Chains A and B, each alone.
Chain A
Amino acid sequence: MTAVTSVAPKRGRNVELALLMLAIGIIVVAYINVELALHGSLPPDLLYLVGGVAGVALIFHLVLRWRASYADPLILPIAVLLNGMGLVMIHRLDIAAGRSITGGLAFKQLTWTVIGVVIALTVLITLRDHRVLRRYTYTAALGALILLLLPLVPGLGKSAYGSRIWISVGGFSFQPAEIAKILLAIFFAGYLVQTRDVLSLAGRKVLGITFPRMRDLGPILFAWLISIAILVFETDLGTSLLLFGLFVSMLYVATERVSWIAIGLTLTAAGAYVAYLLFGHVQRRVLCWLDPFSPEGVDQCGQITTGLMGMASGGLLGHGLGQGRPWLTPLPESDYIFPSFGEEIGLVGVFALLLLYVLLVERGMRTAIGLRDGFGKLLAAGLAFVIALQVFVVVGGVTRVIPLTGLTLPFLSYGGSSLLTNWTLIALLLRISDHARRPVPDVDPADISSDTPTEVVKVA
């Protein structure tokens, strides 16, 4: 016998402010460390930089106080710290590559950060209630589909590093699949909240697991086909895995049925095996995953082997920021930023970064549990899964847990589209968590009496 009582949370805005200060402090210490190691003197622009980063964080904090005062106090400091650590590492790689401050990637990343924060704030201020998004369930699906197909449009799409996932408009290149992630999370949440009863109740039991009916398999097969299509036509294994993983995990959250995970894993395995048989680049990836140090592996897997060597030379405590040689690996600031960190802050530091991701995902899941509406629950869980899956795919790829696929590590990696998307995602999570933690207004029972009809329908 149990009773359910509700517990009102603390707002935690002051805690958030304190943690933000700590996060900014860590970024500053890391930056000083890089500059001292590489130039031997304190950077002249330190004050501007600290002021800029602290200003952006403070503005975000004040908007939260203003518009979402019950939002989760831990999400923003974690995001700021990860973003700042990424900036420091990118700056450090800029110096190593001989790029100037204004022409470097760090400056671009900083610009994208500011744009990302501005967009996130716009989302927070304009979107007062996340449930509005449910109205756009199918619009979001259409938008995501168009965004996913855009890179295939001749003239607009652009191939780079063997995949066709960029579009370039007027000198700017952008990965539309990044934004599609959020739109798909909205679509999946809206769709599953409608259909989850059918998906979870109908079906027959085989070996203790309830399997769905054939006709209910339609959506999962459709999602699978789309991700296969991305894999085949855009040769982007990472996005394909992410989208399908997102769908399967949200399906599981919505229905609580293990059979969906079994079906999802079977489909993934089947798709991966067929892709392995058909495509040369997938075969290369698998070779680099299973045996990068074999004679043919050493020829083809330079990136993965140097990345592993980098992390190995970092050891437990790392060489210290600015004192390793992470630039030896190709793409050290985007796909391979994790090994760059592994080399310079070691296993101990990298575990701290991973824990930050774990905590960020945990906050998303906690928000989902605390919410009272089904759509929001699924959306928050889906957004948390987007982060979790991305981290798993990237870190798993560079540490040879799974075959390497090109995805960016949220907030740490260099990449404008990824930053914009992740800040928007954080804004949505904050908005939803504000809803989850805000105490329910007390319903006054005296207002409800037998004289008033239950519902008044005004007929014109």
Chain B
Amino acid sequence: MSALTLLVLRLGVLLLLWLFVFAIVGVLRSDLYGTRVVARTAVADTGGRRRRRARPTARRATTEPSHLVVTSGSLAGTTLTLKPNGTLIGRNPECTLVLDDDFSSGRHARLFAEGSHWYVEDLGSTNGTFLGSQQVTGPTQVHIGSSIRVGRTVLELRK
């Protein structure tokens, strides 16, 4: 066999090996999964993206609240889009809004919609849920702007 063929093959094996390595590294670059930590200080950026996604709900009726905003507590500044099937609030990682608050329970409270009205309901929490200064005992209607207190966290519904 000619020396040239062998030379080509010899270098070809090396080239292919490195091609394989680079192909894998290329896949690695696009392979993101798991959890992503987003800086909450950049509210303008993430908020904008969220609002764009939430537009269909917002367009349906302008008087309906579409967002849940944390106004005080360790998560102050967080905004969530309200889902029609409800929002679960608590420390349990399964909750929609996972609180980092020692005074809240695992599954603390639930927000849900009936028609165009939103209600808050306490889920048997230890420290209770307050709407304004009133403790929530059964499902209670929440208006835009009124504050809901869960442990040390204060939440508000926004348009």
B32 CB, nearest partner CB in chain A, Å:
5
Interface-side segment among A255-263, A283-291, A302-310, A437-445: A437-445
A74 contacts across to B, CB distance below 8 A: 24, 27-28, 31
For chain A residues 439-460, which have a beta carbon within 8 Å of chain B?
Answer: 443-446, 448-450, 454
Is A4 interfacial (CB-CB < 8 Å)? yes
* Cross-chain contact A446 with B85 (CB below 8 angstroms): yes
Most chain-A Cβ atoms within 10 A of its Cβ — which of B12, B31, B37? B31
B132 CB, nearest partner CB in chain A, Å:
20
| Number of residue pairs A-B, CB distance < 8 angstroms | 161
For chain B residues 52-98, which have a beta carbon within 8 Å of chain A?
Answer: 75-78, 83, 85-88, 94-96, 98
* Cross-chain contact B34 with A29 (CB below 8 angstroms): no
Is A317 interfacial (CB-CB < 8 Å)? yes
* Cross-chain contact A345 with B14 (CB below 8 angstroms): yes
For chain B residues 1-21, which have a beta carbon within 8 Å of chain A?
Answer: 1, 5-7, 9-14, 16-21
* Cross-chain contact A4 with B35 (CB below 8 angstroms): yes
* Cross-chain contact A353 with B17 (CB below 8 angstroms): yes
Residue B14 contacts which of A346, A362, A446, A448 (CB distance < 8 angstroms)? A346
B62 CB, nearest partner CB in chain A, Å:
25
A22 contacts across to B, CB distance below 8 A: 16, 19-20, 23
Is A417 interfacial (CB-CB < 8 Å)? no
Interface-side segment among A9-17, A98-106, A385-393: A9-17
Is A269 interfacial (CB-CB < 8 Å)? no
B78 (CB) vs chain A CBs: closest residue = A3
How many angstroms between the C-alpha atoms of A9 and B112 in the bound complex? Answer: 30
A30 contacts across to B, CB distance below 8 A: 13
* Cross-chain contact B20 with A317 (CB below 8 angstroms): no
Is A352 interfacial (CB-CB < 8 Å)? yes
* Cross-chain contact A3 with B40 (CB below 8 angstroms): yes
B107 contacts across to A, CB distance below 8 A: 448, 454
Is A25 interfacial (CB-CB < 8 Å)? yes
Residue A5 contacts which of B31, B36, B87, B124 (CB distance < 8 angstroms)? B36
A321 contacts across to B, CB distance below 8 A: 9-10, 13
A412 CB, nearest partner CB in chain B, Å:
13
B5 contacts across to A, CB distance below 8 A: 36
A40 contacts across to B, CB distance below 8 A: 1
Q: Which 5 A-B pairs have the closest CB atoms?
A: A9-B33, A320-B10, A445-B88, A1-B40, A352-B17
Q: A1-B41, A6-B34, A356-B21 are in contact. List 18 more A-B contacts (CB 8 A).
A: A3-B40, A4-B35, A9-B32, A36-B6, A40-B1, A317-B11, A317-B14, A319-B10, A345-B13, A345-B17, A353-B17, A359-B28, A437-B33, A445-B85, A446-B85, A449-B123, A450-B121, A450-B123
The 20 sampled A-B contact pairs (Cβ below 8 Å) are: A1-B41, A1-B77, A3-B40, A3-B46, A5-B36, A9-B32, A26-B17, A29-B9, A29-B12, A36-B9, A37-B9, A320-B9, A320-B10, A345-B14, A352-B17, A356-B20, A370-B34, A445-B86, A449-B123, A454-B124
